[in-house]
Chains A and B, each alone.
Chain A
């Protein structure tokens, strides 16, 4: 179940495609209920449970209360996000999908590539997984180029569809010197992309955009630097397997660089030498030489980007 239509090159689309792929692989049927909004999702959960679903994947932190309750009621295992503590033998497991490791890499990449020494982060809200990626990105930048300036702006508390706001805010960041924008935000991210494509950096050069979750290459006009790709298929595949094996709910799931469920998109805009350097860092993370700890609260984001 996803809150919005699965055509956003982002959270919803990845969730749905991942599930479909995993289902196809395991030969189980996948019913998609998309665009359910954040209002009252219980009736849909109940209906799916009644229709004999073997696993309910509630793909929005907003569903983390309703899903386990309905699951318990119909005793159907459910998967939720952003609430690890709700792990429950045979009933509930969490897959906190956060690309923080990938975001760290993106930070590294950005720090290496910025000409102006300023990078920007634009978000259309401050949900936990985005905060984690924002912080990781900032840490990546700092670790690589401590003197790089990071500019951070939120379009609005829940401006997910505010494309105009996305463009406006992004333009301000660019004017503030940023020549690389790390953007997170559903509908509004298209406004960010538009800003990147139509505005020159302060040094007169091109501004580049780092996306999250999805791969916007199909609609790119040559301004996409990279994207923190998620691939939820391994997660869902693992869940299905565990359900079959009857060990569901004994452990949570996550996405990481190691199993490739998180990765950084290589585009033509990335010079090979820099790419190899980034790959090195990637290896360090996998090997545990570098540990990126996710920070899910807005406060720690602000702490990192404030006062520079």
Chain B
């Protein structure tokens, strides 16, 4: 044990927390927008994979990691556009389409990877960290949290942005109306389909960024199915947050911390089966729900297609 918990190690663990949190945060925030607007977006695992692939491909082809993120966002948005077309415009069943898009994205990205990268497994250069003046000087916390890739700061900056969007802008009201009583929004002169389309595209963009973060920053490579369930955890986070971005961040941090803690314990030689540790976050959340028992209210029209004038 002795001398294990050096600064370097603790820093690495904290850095690990951040690295594990960011994709979940982006996925959760993305899902949250769709859900607020009444679209149950089961397809975000697919959006994330597409983002991971698109991000990696562009970054690799262009050699520019920032362009890579753009590509990731677009990749996610492409899937988002399909979701919007099928579920918002055509009113298809959201769960069916969501699962279909996830399966499709898994297949397509795996095929593309097989055709292009499965011989060479190219790996990307690291994104240069951007130390925050002052804060980065703090021992341990500084290097771990404030000497990070710029995208990390941007991801966390989204939280206050969303709080502002939801609470201080018309869009916030419109999203909530679209999710709770679309007909009321419609008769107030705002197109429900437009708002929901915007929401789903925004989801695609954010989740795509999340995927790009996985492949560009967190891994530096693309391997098939590398999102590894992050998208689904994002769905859970968004639902638990009941519309609050701050709660999504909290949830994402809990999961990220658990993952990093697992590593810490193992490295410290504490013998705990990984399966058990994997369950901890979920056990924790279920326990909280059980005792706190607050009604986890979801938008009334969640999952239902809107058709004007239908009784």
Contacts and interface: CB of A to CB of B under 8 A. Distances in A.
Contacts of A191: 219-221, 223
Contacts of B223: 161, 163, 187-188, 190-191
B16 A162 contact: no
Nearest to A178: B267
Contacts of A152: 266-267, 269
Interface stretch (A101-109, A169-177, A287-295): A169-177
Contact of A154 (B15, B20, B219, B266): B266
Contact of A176 (B12, B215, B220, B270): B12
B11 A175 contact: yes
A194 B4 CA distance: 23
B286 interface: no
Contacts of B225: 161, 187
Interface in B69-92: none
Interface in B1-57: 1, 4, 6, 8-9, 11-13, 15-16, 19-20, 23
B156 interface: no
Contact of B118 (A7, A164, A167): A7
Contacts of B126: 198
Contact of B120 (A5, A175, A219): A219
Contacts of B11: 175
Q: What range describes how many residues of B lie at the interface?
A: 35 or more
Interface string B126-164: 100000000000000000000000000000000000000
B8 A202 contact: yes
Nearest to B12: A175
B278 interface: yes
A305 interface: yes
B282 interface: no
A153 B277 CA distance: 13
Interface string A200-232: 001000000000000000110100000000000
Interface in A227-259: none
Nearest to B125: A198
Contact of A5 (B19, B114, B123): B114
Contacts of A164: 19-20, 23, 214, 218-219, 226, 228
A166 interface: yes
Contacts of A279: none
A194 B221 contact: yes
A168 B271 CA distance: 20
A157 B274 contact: yes
Given A168-B263, A171-B12, A171-B15, A306 B220 contact: no
Contacts of A167: 19, 218-220
A307 B271 CA distance: 9
B12 A172 contact: yes
A306 B274 contact: no
B253 interface: no
Interface of B: 1, 4, 6, 8-9, 11-13, 15-16, 19-20, 23, 114, 118-121, 123-126, 214-215, 218-226, 228, 259-260, 263-264, 266-267, 269-271, 273-275, 278
Given A163-B223, A176-B267, 9 more contacts: A159-B228, A172-B260, A172-B267, A173-B267, A190-B121, A194-B124, A218-B120, A306-B269, A307-B1
Interface of A: 5, 7, 9, 126, 151-154, 156-157, 159, 161-169, 171-177, 187-188, 190-191, 193-194, 197-198, 202, 218-219, 221, 298, 302, 305-308
19 contacts: A5-B114, A163-B221, A164-B23, A164-B219, A164-B228, A165-B228, A168-B20, A173-B267, A177-B8, A187-B224, A187-B225, A190-B123, A191-B223, A193-B123, A194-B123, A194-B124, A197-B123, A306-B269, A307-B1
